[in-house]
Amino acid sequence: MTLNLGSPRLFRLSLPSSHSSKLFDTSSYSSAKNSSLFFLVFNSNCASKRKFSSALSGFKKLRVEASLSESENEVAEASDSELLDEDLIRRVSAAKDANEGLELIAEKSKRGGGVVSGSDCCSIISAAFDRNNADLALSVYSAMRSSFDPGLAGGEMASTVQRWKWSRPDVHTCTLLVQGLAASLRVSDALKMIGAVSRVGVSPGEEVPFGKIVRCPTCMIAVTVAQPQHGIQVVSCSKCRYQYELVSGNIVSIESEEISMEVPAWKRALRFLQIKMQSIPAAVHSIVVETPSGMARTHRFATETVDLPAQEGERVTIAVAAPSNVYREVGPLKFSPKSPNFYPGEPMCLTNHRDGRESLLLRAPIKNGGTSLLNPSILFPLLAVLATGDAASGFIDPSLPQFISVAAVSSVALGATLNTLVFPQLGRIPQRLVDTIAIKQQLLSQYDRLQSRIKGLKEGAENEVWMLARMCQLENKITAVGEPSYRARRSRVRRVREGLESSLRKRIELIDSYARISSMIEIEVEMDSDVLAAEAASNAESIAEQIQQIMELENLEETWRIQIEANDEVERLLSSETTSSEQVLDI
């Protein structure tokens, strides 16, 4: 696909068929290559072979169904191809929006309904850009994205126009729109188009996103997805085998205070000797996070810089160490699965949902200053007291100071060993318990890497859109001047523009390929979590309905029993009255 500018006002978009076939071949090859790379994710996990085979069979089924649907769409488009001639395309390109264009197609075709093929849609979009009617091109693309099922409006009660549908947009259509919008100097709309390419299968006005990937604050691998309805959840990491509590919500209030960057000399010496490796905080923040359920929590932490990790009103997820009420019982003992060197419930990492920025958090200093044994004002007097005690105990028993020193050193060494090696290992979750979530977290890690690649490609494509728009504007200026001496410069600008178009096309193809693989991962993750949760909820609702029916039956049975007992009592009373009356008559 090339972009040729014939005049300073109108921009001609030519669509050579040979180049289009090469484009689709390249796109399909890149999709197959990336799909094969994606399937290798499952082969690296040997812990759950049964789940792997089921997931692989699901992928095969998905690919077969996708190929069948694509072949059906190709047949439908082949039947409706060559539907529009040049005169009709010229008339449709002057329409106000996509609906008016469909009305013109329905009047001209004299058919009961159908699907406008992808090639006809591209021809309409190209002609719309020729007429400087970018609004129609955007309207057609929006209608194409909304056409998820061409058979929805094909009922008997639907009108002739409603039975006509636009075909689904492909990467070729998106590339045509991006280049046309850049040539029309509508850069903001072109950037929105690039964002739409990275979200395959997402309809306009979508309000149910997949969620935000949250990483483990210790080993920084993807552990779960924070969806809009999530508030507080406890997650486990399959790599470090520790548990963390995630608090997701909107920031209600935030208070920040910059602290002094002056570091005592003894702290600088310890950091130089690598004895104390803790980072120096630059600012202290106190935020209140409100979850979707309405519960609010306060978190106080420090950061290495004075920059705010998030602002008021933004949605964030704070990963904190496992609280004290989360533990693992081993007989009579209770082990906390929290990360070592952190207090229970201490904030460790903050993820901003707006820009995806992740900020590692530091422990906030104590407000009153606090004390430390490493402080020289405390360490030297303590050593003096110990030395005096040793000298005094030497008068009682010469071997007593040595015994006390050995006991103190042994106690310190034992405590350090237990806190550093033994307790963290005992607090880890057993491997067999995290094997069930290892595959899901591996998929999320792959999804996170794909999103990083898509983000890099989007940034490069956005820069190329800006440069392409500037080259088109520069060519318009050269054409408007009309000086023959600028002919060589105009040829140079055209060569640069064609190179930008080629590079932009390849970037959009890669974005589309990565986005499709990301959608496949989203399907597998949601099938493994959301669908199971929905099935469990539906099963719980059915069980609740059954219990309600049983209770109603029991109430009916109780009513019937009381009614029967009352009827029996009435019959007994009637029978007794009848007997007594008969006895009176006999007397």
Note the pTM of the prediction, 2 decimals. 0.68
- Cα separation, 380 vs 373, in Å, equals 10
Residue ranges with strand state E in 81-190: 114-116, 164-166
User: What is the 3-state composition of the chain as percent helix, strand, coil, each rounded to the nearest 5?
Assistant: 60, 15, 30
- Cα separation, 365 vs 302, in Å, equals 8
Tell how strand 333-335 and strand 328-330 pair up: antiparallel
- Cα separation, 83 vs 2, in Å, equals 24
Residue 16, burial from CB neighbour count under 10 angstroms (0-12, 13-18, 19+): exposed
In this prediction, residue 443 carries a pLDDT of: 87
DSSP letters for 246-307: EEEEEEEEEEEEE------HHHHHHHHTTS--PPPP-EEEEEEEE-TTS-EEEEEEEESSSS
- Cα separation, 473 vs 505, in Å, equals 20
- Cα separation, 213 vs 207, in Å, equals 17
- Cα separation, 521 vs 517, in Å, equals 6
In this prediction, residue 65 carries a pLDDT of: 41
- Cα separation, 252 vs 313, in Å, equals 6
In this prediction, residue 260 carries a pLDDT of: 67
Angle value at C-alpha 32, between 460 and 34, nearest 5 degrees: 45
Name the β-bridge partners of 247.
232, 318
Q: Residue 71 to residues 65, 138, 145, 334: CA-CA distances in angstroms?
A: 10, 27, 19, 59
- Cα separation, 207 vs 539, in Å, equals 26
- Cα separation, 501 vs 464, in Å, equals 8
What HEC string does 484-519 produce?
A: HHHHHHHHHHHHHHHHHHHHHHHHHHHHHHHHHHHH
- Cα separation, 215 vs 350, in Å, equals 10
Angle value at C-alpha 489, between 483 and 490, nearest 5 degrees: 75
In this prediction, residue 42 carries a pLDDT of: 39
Angle value at C-alpha 313, between 310 and 319, nearest 5 degrees: 50
| Residue 503 contacts residue 464 (beta carbons within 8 Å) | yes
CA-closest candidate to residue 525, choices 451, 434, 447: 447
CB atoms within 10 A of CB 127: 22
In this prediction, residue 469 carries a pLDDT of: 93
SS3 at position 178: helix
CB atoms within 10 A of CB 198: 19
- In sequence order, the 6+-apart residues with CB closer than 8 A to the CB of 228 are 208, 209, 211, 292, 315
DSSP letters for 405-445: HHHHHHHHHHHHHIIIIIHHHHHSPPHHHHHHHHHHHHHHH
List the chain residues with pLDDT less than 50: 1-81, 149-157, 273, 275-276, 584
In this prediction, residue 346 carries a pLDDT of: 92
- In sequence order, the 6+-apart residues with CB closer than 8 A to the CB of 77 are 115, 117, 118, 119, 167
- Cα separation, 444 vs 210, in Å, equals 12
Name the β-bridge partners of 232.
247
Which single residue is written with the structure tokens 């190329």?
464
What is the widest separation between alpha-carbon atoms in the chain?
145
- Cα separation, 231 vs 297, in Å, equals 11
Question: What is the identity of the amino acid at 78?
Answer: A
DSSP letters for 317-361: EEEEEPPTT--EEETTEEE--PPTTS-TT-EEEEEETTT--EEE-
Q: Residue 353 to residues 211, 212, 318, 358, 493: CA-CA distances in angstroms?
A: 9, 6, 11, 9, 41
Please provide the size of the chain in residues.
Answer: 587
Q: What are phi and psi of 182, to 5 degrees?
A: -65, -40
